[in-house]
Amino acid sequence: FKDFFDQALNSDEPTTLEHITSETYVPVLDDPITELEVREQVAHLKSEKAAGTDGIPPGVIRLLPATWIVFITIILNKLFLNSVYPQSWSLAKLFTIYKKGNKLLPSNYRGITIINCLAKVFDMILCHRLQLWFRPYREQAGSQRGRGCLEHITTLRLTF
C-alpha cells in the first residue's frame, strides 16, 4: 500500500512556490484572519473524527474556551501575514478504505488523509475566503453548491 500511494500521491517536483506579490489589495482575501472566522470554522469541525498528526481530535478544539480562540487567531495570523505554512502541517495520516474488486490490489482502496487540526482550521478559512471572492455569475448554475442546471434546462425547453 505504501508504494502504491507514494507513487499516486507524492511527487519528486518541489512543492514550494516563489513568493508572489500583488499590487491589488482584495479585502476578502488579504485582510487578517478574524476571531469570527476562526470560531465559525472551529464550529464546523466534526467532533467524532480522528486526530491528525498533532494527536489533537477536532472535538477537543471545539471545546476550547474563547480565550484559546483568540490565541489560535493570533497564531494563524502570524502564519498568514508572513506567508508561512508549517512543514509539519504538510504531513498527514493516511488510511485506506476498501472500495470494491480484488482486496489484494491497492488500486481498489481509497486513501483518506487526516491532517493536523489547526492546519484544517487554517485551510477551511482560506477555502471559505476563496469561495466568497469567487462568486460566479448568476447565469452560471452548474457545479455550484445549492444550484443546478435544471432551471436552465427548463428555460431552454420552454423557449424552444
| pLDDT tens track for 130-155 | 988 887 666 666 666 667 777 777 77
CA-closest candidate to residue 61, choices 123, 127, 116, 129? 116
Alpha-carbon span 33 to 82, nearest angstrom = 12
Return the pLDDT at 6.
78
Domain residue spans of the chain? 2-159
Q: Quote the pTM value.
A: 0.75
| pLDDT tens track for 108-121 | 988 888 999 999 99
